[in-house]
Structure 1
């Protein structure tokens, strides 16, 4: 028999905030309903208080609500659900500010283990409750509960060691002597049960002393328990007296309206009866057990429904709060986004203005540099290729007799050569056609390099979709091919030159080869025209490859994406 001193009553002695006060008000109502034995209604209000409690901000109320709900389920025999609910309170035990909350929770958990025959855990949790004993009354209750578990384990000697010191002194706790007497009568009951189990006649003394106190208190439930104990005591030595006490306990079970206790009293009556009485009580017992099973299932379903409805309400409230929070958060985010957008726009506009001025200035500078380079290149070319020839021609005209046919012919040839070179320089620096006539313009440019001593072969130029290629790429390709042919004419001494155009993997590939002197020792020195070629190809994300291993001519290929 376990001792439960603290019922689901809660007295608020702390200064609470508005929400905490509202929770406590609901808990006070739940406690009153619990004490009036309306446990299903009490369960509803404890669950309501639970839904109002934040375990971080209201740990006392949260733990207390769960513990009361667990105790109600325990009373109804649903130990598994009781343990599940109480386990939710365990992480917040240490956050409570009053020791009675963990004490109460640990005792309910211990009783769960006791009722499910897990005695080791029952003792463990009762001992844990001793750590939170703020009063002698709670300490005595925990010790008595430990002794009760030992009795269930048939460890009577260990139980007696605990109970004898408790029975040796009657203590008065608080302003209500009834609580002290009730505690003392239960200790005597348990001590009597130990001696009864050990066949020690001292059991009768403790049973009768306990009954006297209970009769004085007029506690129907405790009196019923004493009658059961006395019935068991007399069962073998005085069967008639045993049956009398069994009948008394059975009658008391109706007064306290406890079906579970009534079934236990009927079980005792069956042990004390014979003949027709045995049959009568057996049939009543079977009928009652069926009723208990149905009632437990109904209660279980009822409590599950309360939890389900409450969870649904909590979920809906949480959903509404979450939606409200999300709306507020969305507004705040939108506000922040607008501010950030304005800052970004201002920053971008500033950067764009800066880049515009910077690129404009840079473009002007680059344009000036490009013009200067072009002028220098043309100037150098005119000086290198024409100045000496012009000077020599003038000198020839002044010093030689132009009346002679051979001198006249030589002068004309020199002038024609100067004209052709001038025309070539003009073409090299003239604008490039990039429209649909680009391929024809490219062919004409290549054809200009053909002489009686140089034969040029062009293959695949018309297979390239020039109209789909970017204008800058066409200009760059034109200049690269032009530079390569100029280099060939100056340095290769070739008699045969080929230019092959292909498309491979979405890339334009141009291969130029000649049968000239090739590359001395396989070493390519990039300067002047060839250096320009490499610089140009990089601007259109292309690559160029010089064949340094060819000793029978010169070969170069370059590639750029369509």
Structure 2
């Protein structure tokens, strides 16, 4: 039979591809056009941002935290961080710092984190330094020392002023002191103590130096070097006792009180009292509480009772104040969000009527483009898959025809020719010649029937197990015994139809190969399911693989290719004693 060929014209395929590309290009151009048309007109808020920033700065400097947060939130809402990152980052960092002053470190971290994506757009490293410093302080107060160290080290690496680097190093030192890494802290503090005039303001230089030497003294104290510790404490105290340099004076007194607690309790009490008096003078509640804790340790009797009551009152007062501040801030945040929502709603109502018609038109156009594209894609896939299916079908028919033709030629042509020659040359009147002729004709008949069976349709319904058994046992003869193990334990109705057909053909090829080539007298086939895979093992006692070399020809090559089509694996080999062995596995 002449092979029919169905081909999908390359020219037609090219036309479809060009059409699809054109549609895609039109869709992209339309999408860009629509995006430009419906783009919201931008309003310049520069002047309003500048005005509000001045107002917010005044609130910030006068410690009106609630008003400052409210105003900076307004600035944040007006800023576009992509086009105006500086004003946006300034607003969120100020909000973060105000939350930090209110001891709301979680809210402070959240605000500072909002600035991180836009730091890369700002050339001045000062803003990055501010953000990392705020985050580091928040992590320090939240006892997340690991992240605090990361942030402070990032701040130190930035190309900022010496004063900013010094401040970041100081903050890093505080973390080391919290971790009781006093040796590392002392090394950094000694470096800072050797630097002079790192700020342009004398008062700032004095305060910074006092802070450094006082912390250095505390590190020496913890490291057991009491002589150097006391020397540093007194140096820091001397600076802080000067006018305009009293920032941190309470801390100096507290450190000295701790230093003398065991050696001189009376002097320790005196320094603790001075620390409390100075904290009361500057109205620093946290310093008063920490000073009172030292006085409680240094007193007894009525004094102990008096200071204990003051301590309890202050702790209760600060808890009440914190709750009040948080409630006030919640109200401010709610009012701001409410105002912003109302403003956005009004803007949306004004613009919606103008944009609705344009959006509708654009949607219709885009919908048409998408529909056209989908239809063309469906048509293309239909023609392509139809052509491919016809080609594969014809290839399969052609392969079957070649295989059947070869089988007829190899297995029957010679026998028919020999039978004809026998009939022409022998005297058929003799009984033995007549018997031989009949045997030859029977042999030709059985071979023809086998070829017919090999290429007939395979039953895959409930009768499939019976069909497989009949096929296997059909190769049994008086000199060949066949054993089947585990066949009835398999649930054949749960196996895919295509896999049943492949298995049938593979077994057929194996037993045909056994009968023709192996010279076996005993063959066995076993079936077992493991891990949702069907394992089949075939063994015979025939000639096996010669010289450990397997040549894949005809049937065996078909076996391998068929198993691979169902994602299976196959292993060829000799039987352990004598003969041939093959095992294959495929997923169910």
TM-score (norm 1): 0.54
* Alignment partner of 1:64 out of 65, 70, 90: 90
- Is the counterpart of residue 263 in structure 1 residue 289 in structure 2? yes
Task: Give the corresponding residue for 2:221.
Answer: 196
Task: Give the corresponding residue for 1:371.
Answer: none
Following superposition, the deviation at residue 104 of structure 1 comes to 0.7
Following superposition, the deviation at residue 150 of structure 1 comes to 0.3
* Alignment partner of 1:178 out of 184, 203, 226: 203
Following superposition, the deviation at residue 106 of structure 1 comes to 0.8
In 1, are the aligned partners of 2:197 and 2:205 still within 8 Å (CA)?
A: yes
Distance 1:261 1:67 in 2: 26
Task: Give the corresponding residue for 1:463.
Answer: none
Task: Give the corresponding residue for 2:348.
Answer: 322
Distance 1:197 1:21 in 2: 54
In 2, are the aligned partners of 1:221 and 1:253 still within 8 Å (CA)?
A: no
Distance 1:316 1:220 in 2: 49
Following superposition, the deviation at residue 111 of structure 1 comes to 0.7
Task: Give the corresponding residue for 2:299.
Answer: 273
For residues 90-110 of structure 1, give each alpha carbon's deviation from its aligned partner in whole angstroms, at most 9, with x where no partner exists. 222222342111111111111
Task: Give the corresponding residue for 1:491.
Answer: none
Distance 1:229 1:25 in 2: 45
In 2, are the aligned partners of 1:60 and 1:98 still within 8 Å (CA)?
A: no
For residues 443-474 of structure 1, give each alpha carbon's deviation from its aligned partner in whole angstroms, at most 9, with x where no partner exists. xxxxxxxxxxxxxxxxxxxxxxxxxxxxxxxx
- Is the counterpart of residue 83 in structure 1 residue 83 in structure 2? no
Name the SS for the 1:114 alignment partner: helix
Task: Give the corresponding residue for 1:224.
Answer: 250
Distance 1:278 1:95 in 2: 58
In 1, are the aligned partners of 2:239 and 2:245 still within 8 Å (CA)?
A: no
- Is the counterpart of residue 122 in structure 1 residue 148 in structure 2? yes
For residues 204-245 of structure 1, give each alpha carbon's deviation from its aligned partner in whole angstroms, at most 9, with x where no partner exists. 111221122223252444112222222222222222221122
Following superposition, the deviation at residue 292 of structure 1 comes to 1.0
Residue correspondence of structure 1 range 454-465 to structure 2 within 5 A: none
Distance 2:283 2:82 in 1: 39
Residue correspondence of structure 1 range 55-454 to structure 2 within 5 A: 55-174=81-200, 176-201=201-226, 202-330=228-356, 332=358
Compare CA radii of gyration and give the structure with the larger one: 1
Distance 2:313 2:223 in 1: 34
CA RMSD of aligned residues (A): 2.5
Following superposition, the deviation at residue 159 of structure 1 comes to 0.7
Structure number with greater CO (CA < 8 Å, separation at least 6) is 2
Task: Give the corresponding residue for 2:19.
Answer: none
Change (3 A) 1:337 1:280: closer
Change (3 A) 1:20 1:262: farther
> Comparing 160-169 with 79-88, which one deviates more in the overlay?
79-88
Following superposition, the deviation at residue 179 of structure 1 comes to 1.9
Task: Give the corresponding residue for 1:527.
Answer: none
Gaps of 5+ in 2: 1-42, 367-588
Following superposition, the deviation at residue 127 of structure 1 comes to 0.8
In 1, are the aligned partners of 2:203 and 2:244 still within 8 Å (CA)?
A: no
Give the number of equivalent residue pairs: 323
Change (3 A) 1:311 1:224: same
Distance 1:80 1:334 in 2: 44
Distance 1:28 1:217 in 2: 31
Following superposition, the deviation at residue 113 of structure 1 comes to 0.8
Distance 1:265 1:293 in 2: 18
Q: Deviation above 6 Å: which 4+ runs of structure 1?
A: 334-340
Following superposition, the deviation at residue 332 of structure 1 comes to 4.5
Change (3 A) 1:323 1:71: same
Following superposition, the deviation at residue 58 of structure 1 comes to 2.3
Distance 2:109 2:223 in 1: 33
In 2, are the aligned partners of 1:20 and 1:58 still within 8 Å (CA)?
A: no
Following superposition, the deviation at residue 334 of structure 1 comes to 7.5
Following superposition, the deviation at residue 280 of structure 1 comes to 1.2
In 2, are the aligned partners of 1:73 and 1:81 still within 8 Å (CA)?
A: yes
Distance 1:217 1:51 in 2: 43
> Comparing 211-220 with 298-307, which one deviates more in the overlay?
211-220
In 1, are the aligned partners of 2:206 and 2:245 still within 8 Å (CA)?
A: no
Name the SS for the 1:216 alignment partner: coil
Change (3 A) 1:64 1:336: closer
Change (3 A) 1:211 1:42: farther
In 2, are the aligned partners of 1:220 and 1:256 still within 8 Å (CA)?
A: no
TM-score (norm 2): 0.52
Change (3 A) 1:281 1:330: same
Following superposition, the deviation at residue 335 of structure 1 comes to 8.7
Following superposition, the deviation at residue 331 of structure 1 comes to 5.3
Name the SS for the 1:48 alignment partner: helix
- Is the counterpart of residue 37 in structure 1 residue 100 in structure 2? no
In 2, are the aligned partners of 1:51 and 1:310 still within 8 Å (CA)?
A: no
Distance 1:47 1:260 in 2: 28
Task: Give the corresponding residue for 1:54.
Answer: 80
Name the SS for the 2:248 alignment partner: helix
Change (3 A) 1:43 1:262: farther
